[in-house]
Structures are given as structure tokens and as C-alpha cells.
Amino acid sequence: MDLKQLRYFTAVAEELHFGRAAKRLFISQPALSFDIRKFEEQLGVQLLARTNKSVALTNAGQVLLGEARRLLLQAAEAERITVRSAHGLAGRLRIGFVNSMLYRGMPQAVSRFEADYPGVEVVLKEMNTSEQVHAIQRMQIDMGCAHWGNFPSGAISTPVFSEPFLCCLPADHPLARKGRVDLRALAQEPFILFPRTVSPHYHDLIIAQCVSAGFSPLIRHEARLWQTVVTMVGFGMGVALVPYTLRQVQDPRVCFLPLRGETLLSQVLLLRRSGDAEPVADRFVEYLNEAGGKSAKTSLPAHAPRSASSRRPS
């Protein structure tokens, strides 16, 4: 059974006349009659009851007509989606993302993209950088938003966001009243940091920055997510260095201050498989860049200390 046979049968079943059905299909009546009979022989059932004056559907024909209409609609939709997906207008887009992307315009980008392209299903999967690399290799995601890592030759990484780190302090900390924090002033403070297995690059980067300032940080607590780090700081469990975008976390118990004279940067990279040319992914990147740009424009100046209670949500 193929789509051509279903189209021919459906035309005859709806017209109940071989002549009109043949005209509708732009074929000759004898050819149509031959094809329908061959179809019935293939199925081993009679679909149409024919007389010299009329054509009627048998019970089997009635059942097949309903199924044929459904299958032909599905086939037409599959064709439409395939053509649209070739132009970036339909399909499924699986995106891996690090948690901080929730504050870098990812939700806004997904919302606007799905509104403009309802034929595209966006699937978000929270993963650390290492997990995204493996998922890219195994074709489990189409693209990723990750931090620096050891990327295989089959993955292409392109920077999409870059921002400074801030010092996250309890709101009642003595240093919270200052405009900027000298990293050396944190030498005796307990630090909250994520395990090295979660993000080796940033773990080592923060340690190296502290060592460069003349001290080895006392890592008292570890957490896997930036939001957890900020929450733990709010409970007075230590201090932390966090990406600038985390200032959007609404917790009045913490404040965020720029570091004096430091150039420690947090970067997010877009991960793709080399050789991939997915128009859907390319379109989404445009939305992500726009949403990330708006998020950056609504952020507070880097030199202005703020507690979470005094910030506007983006």
C-alpha cells in the first residue's frame, strides 16, 4: 500500500464515479480502474461495489476511506514540515545549557522564538560543560551553551557572552559598604565554590586569581549551581566570586560588588558539531543574541554596588 494507491482510492470513494475521479486525478479512466482493481487484489478485499450505473463503498471501503484520509493528511503535513525545516522554520531543537543561561536571556529567547516559529519544538536540557560535550558527540543535543572546557575536534565553540566576575557577600558583611572589593581583602574569608568536576576551567580560574592576589582561598563549602552558591552566601556561610549576571538573583541577604583592578571574566560559548548546518539552530542563535543583549542593557553599571533588594528584575 502506497500513497498513490490511497490517493486514487480516496478520489473514487469521494466521487463515487470513475470518470469524475479520473478527471480530478488527471489520468485516464481505464488506467484508474486498472489501478483500483490491482489495489483490491493486493489487499485481498473488495473496496468498491460496481454496477453499470453506480459505484458504492463496501464496509471495508468505508473503513479504508477514513484511514486513507488520515494518512494522506499526515503525509502532507510531513512534507510541509520537512520543507519548512530546510528553511529553519520547523522541526525540533535540543539545547543544552548551563544554569546561568536562565539569567542571560535564554527563557526570553525561547518564548519569542516559539511564538514566531510555532512549528519548532524547543527542548532545553540543563547540563554542565562536560555533559554537553558528550551530548554533542552522541547527537543527543543539537547545540549547547557552555563554559570553557576540553572540546573535541568534532565540536565548534563560539563565544556568545562575556562578563566580569563579581564578589558576592552577605549584605551585612563589613566589605558590603565599599564600592569595590580588593580580592586580597578576602584572604581570610571562607569561600563557596563549585566542585572542580562540575567546571574545571572556572574552578581553576578562580583559584589561580586568588593565588595571583597572594593567597590560597579557603574553600569551606561546595555547590553545583550558581544560585545555590548565592543562597549559601545569603545564609552567611561564606563569600563567593560569581558571574555578573547573577546580580539578578532576588535575595536581599546578599550584595554584589565589582573587584578592584581584576579582569576575571565569565564566558559562555555556543557549542555545535562541526559540519552541522541547521537553519533552525541558526535562527535561534539570533534570538539568543538579541535577548542576551537586552539583558545586558538592563543590567546595573558594574561600578555600582547593589544588594538584591535594590535591583530591578530583568
The CATH topology of domain 3-86 is Arc Repressor Mutant, subunit A (1.10.10)
Choice between 154 and 226, residue whose per-residue pLDDT is larger: 226
Could you give the count of Cα atoms lying within 13 Å of 313 in the half-sphere of its Cβ? Answer: 5
What pLDDT, on the 0 to 100 scale, is given for residue 301?
Answer: 33
Q: Do domains 91-159+267-297 and 162-266+301-310 have the same CATH topology?
A: yes
What pLDDT, on the 0 to 100 scale, is given for residue 191?
Answer: 96
For the chain, give the percent of residues with pLDDT over 90: 37
Classify domain 162-266+301-310 at the CATH superfamily level.
Periplasmic binding protein-like II (3.40.190.10)
Which residue matches cell numbers 535540543?
A: 94
> Residue 297: pLDDT band by 50, 70, 90 thresholds?
very low
Report whether pLDDT(41) > 60: yes
The CATH number of 91-159+267-297 is 3.40.190.10
Give the model confidence (pLDDT) of 191-249 as tens digits: 999 888 877 878 888 999 999 999 999 999 999 888 899 999 999 999 999 988 888 88
SS (H, E, C) 259-311: ECCCCCEEEEEEEEECCCCCHHHHHHHHHHHHHHHHHHHCCCCCCCCEEHHHC
What span, in angstroms and rounded, lies between the C-alpha atoms of 153 and 179?
44
What pLDDT, on the 0 to 100 scale, is given for residue 231?
Answer: 94
Entry field: residues in the chain = 314
Query: Which long-range contacts link 250-254 to residues 24+ away (Cβ below 8 Å)?
Result: 250/308, 250/309, 250/311, 250/313, 251/308, 252/171, 252/307, 252/308, 252/309, 253/170, 253/171, 253/308, 254/168, 254/169, 254/170, 254/171, 254/230, 254/307, 254/308
Contact 71, 9 (CB under 8 A): no
User: What is the average pLDDT score of the chain?
Assistant: 84
* Domain spans, the chain: 3-86, 91-159+267-297, 162-266+301-310
Helix axis angle for 18-25 and 3-15, nearest 10°, is: 130
